[in-house]
Every structure is written in structure tokens, then in C-alpha cells.
């Protein structure tokens, strides 16, 4: 069975300018170095806003940091008259590895449908960027259909119709748990992650399912991360608010230290 390296991803959302972003990444790097963090045990990535990407890429490059870089969105188009959009090609040129697609805030405030998400995943694959595809149910959907139905449906819609699947990550983020302090139970996160993985195996192959990392996201903190990552079904976390604090985020990245507690 493929070994899946845990993935700790920090979504800064619309916070921090590029100077604050540089300071945060420097502090995160020192904190992790002080704690002798081994990146082979847990990969760490930050997802700053677009205007910070170039500065942070320069820092990562110049100082040889092992922290990875992701963008919060990608255009479905490669170039042309799409004012305000950022292409996969431009992101790839900044040595970006990952791109968030279909975050619930984009689905909710920018009307991103499953079709838009699918087109953005296609753009990420075209430019060799790894999409981190966000899926999750609202409270109403949870009550009407249970926890797994919407995330599984959104996952399959995002992955449908591609000539070939590149590497991708799924982030299961119940909408009712994002930024609310209300968290899913570790059992719920593991159960939904398993159903997503089973659906990927059925639709594509066991091999694709085995190598796909499935994250949990929604009010994750250093104090609750271990509960989620104790399950072999959950391969990491997507963190919003707590990723803006270098010490807290490094505590999350070092979740293995508190697995036995
Ligand atoms: C997110 O924005 O993806 C998220 C999980 O936010 P928070 O950790 O703040 O709930």
C-alpha cells in the first residue's frame, strides 16, 4: 500500500499583506526548525493571497525552506480577456505546488458550481499543479442527507471528464465547521474520508484511491488535531484561522508529538 505523507495546509484566506506573510513564514520555519521538524513526517504548505505569492516564493527559494507554497484559486482559462483572474501558467512560474479549488467560501460567495470546480481542476492538471479540492456539506445538507452524500458527490463531479488524472488532494470541510469553532468529531471525519476514498476506488481504481490524500478541515487547532490524524483514513488537515499564528500552526504540523497523549 502507498505511504501517504501527512499534509498540513494553511489557508490564510484574505489576511496578511506580503510583509506580514514573509514574517509569518520566517517564524514558522524557525519554530519548526527549533522543534527539529522532519518534513518527511509531515509536509507543510501555506496558501497566501495572490499578492504575497512572489515574495514568499523568493524567500522559500533564497533560504532553501522546505515549506511548500499554494495558491487559493486558479482560473479555469489559460490566458485572455478574463480581467482579475490568475492563470495556471502564471502560478506555475512562481514554483507553486498546490492550488485550492472549490473552497466553500468560493462556492458560496462566488457561485462556484461543480462545473466551475471541474474546469479549474482541469486547468490545474494542465499546468502540473496539484489541486486541493475542497468538498463539504452545509448544516441543512447534513440534516437532509447525512454527512457523506454531498462531499462524495462534489468529489466525483470535480474528478469527472478528465483525460487523465494528475495528483490531487481532497479536503473534506463541513461548511458548518469552518471558522465557527464547531468541529466534526474525528469519527465523522474518518467515516466521510473513507466514503470519499471508496467512491474514488469504485469510479477510478484502488491505486488512485490508495495514493490520494484526504484531509479534514474546520476549526482545527493544535489541541484537537491529533484526534483527526489518529485515523488512517485522514491524511492531514486544511487549517484556516489557526494557520495565521506560526506557533499554533507549527503545533498542528507537529501533531505526531501528541498522538500518544
Ligand atoms: C478553511 O478555511 O479552510 C478552514 C478550515 O478554516 P478554519 O480552520 O478557520 O475553520
For 153-202, how does the pLDDT look when each residue is reduced to its tens digit (9 = 90+)? Answer: 999 999 999 999 999 999 999 998 888 888 889 999 999 999 999 999 99
Residue that has been written with the C-alpha cell 474520508 in this structure? 193
Atom of ligand 1 nearest to the CA of 178: 10
Q: Average pLDDT for residues 12-27, to the nearest whole number?
A: 98
- Superfamily grouping for domain 7-258: Aldolase class I (3.20.20.70)
Q: Which of 43, 141, 173, 248 is catalytic?
A: 173
Q: Which of 103, 105, 137, 141 is catalytic?
A: 103
Please report the pLDDT score of residue 181 as a whole number.
82
pLDDT tens sequence across 67-111 = 999 999 999 999 999 999 999 999 999 999 999 999 999 999 999
Count Cβ atoms below 10 Å from residue 27 Cβ, excluding itself.
Answer: 15
Is the per-residue pLDDT at 260 higher than 80? no
Report how far residue 30's alpha carbon sits from residue 206's, in angstroms, rounded to the nearest whole number. Answer: 39
Domain borders along the chain are 7-258
CA–CA dist 190, 5 (Å, integer): 17
The number of beta carbons lying within 10 Å of the beta carbon of residue 62 is: 8
> How many angstroms separate the alpha carbon of residue 79 from the centre of ligand 1?
30
Please state the pTM of the whole predicted model.
Answer: 0.96
Residue 1 C-alpha to ligand 1 middle, in angstroms?
Answer: 30
203 belongs to the catalytic site: no
Ligand 1 atom nearest to CA at 177? 10
Q: What is the CB < 6 Å shell around ligand 1?
A: 11, 13, 173, 178-179, 217-220, 238-242
Residue 206 a catalytic site member: no
Amino acid at each position: 500500500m502507498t505511504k501517504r505523507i501527512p499534509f498540513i495546509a494553511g489557508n490564510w484566506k484574505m489576511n496578511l499583506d506580503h510583509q506580514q506573510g514573509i514574517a509569518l513564514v520566517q517564524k514558522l520555519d524557525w519554530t519548526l526548525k527549533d522543534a527539529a521538524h522532519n518534513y518527511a513526517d509531515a509536509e507543510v504548505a501555506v496558501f497566501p493571497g495572490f499578492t504575497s505569492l512572489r515574495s514568499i516564493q523568493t524567500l522559500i527559494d533564497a533560504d532553501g525552506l522546505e515549506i511548500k507554497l499554494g495558491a487559493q484559486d486558479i482560473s479555469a482559462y489559460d490566458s485572455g480577456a478574463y480581467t482579475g483572474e490568475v492563470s495556471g501558467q502564471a502560478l506555475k512560474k512562481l514554483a507553486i505546488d498546490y492550488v485550492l479549488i472549490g473552497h466553500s467560501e468560493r462556492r458560496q460567495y462566488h457561485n462556484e458550481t461543480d462545473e466551475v470546480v471541474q474546469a479549474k481542476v482541469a486547468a490545474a492538471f494542465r499546468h502540473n499543479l496539484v489541486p486541493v479540492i475542497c468538498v463539504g456539506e452545509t448544516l441543512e445538507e447534513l440534516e437532509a442527507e447525512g454527512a457523506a452524500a454531498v462531499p462524495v458527490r462534489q468529489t466525483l463531479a470535480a474528478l469527472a471528464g478528465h483525460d487523465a488524472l494528475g495528483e490531487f488532494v481532497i479536503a473534506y470541510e463541513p461548511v458548518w465547521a469552518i471558522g465557527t469553532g464547531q468541529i466534526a468529531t474525528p469519527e465523522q471525519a474518518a467515516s466521510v474520508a473513507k466514503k470519499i476514498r471508496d467512491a474514488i476506488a469504485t469510479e477510478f481504481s484502488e491505486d488512485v484511491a490508495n495514493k490520494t490524500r484526504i484531509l479534514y478541515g474546520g476549526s482545527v487547532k493544535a489541541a484537537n488535531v491529533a484526534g483527526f490524524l489518529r485515523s488512517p483514513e485522514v491524511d492531514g488537515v486544511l487549517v484556516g484561522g489557526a494557520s495565521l499564528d506560526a506557533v499554533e500552526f507549527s503545533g498542528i504540523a507537529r501533531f505526531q508529538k501528541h498522538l500518544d497523549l
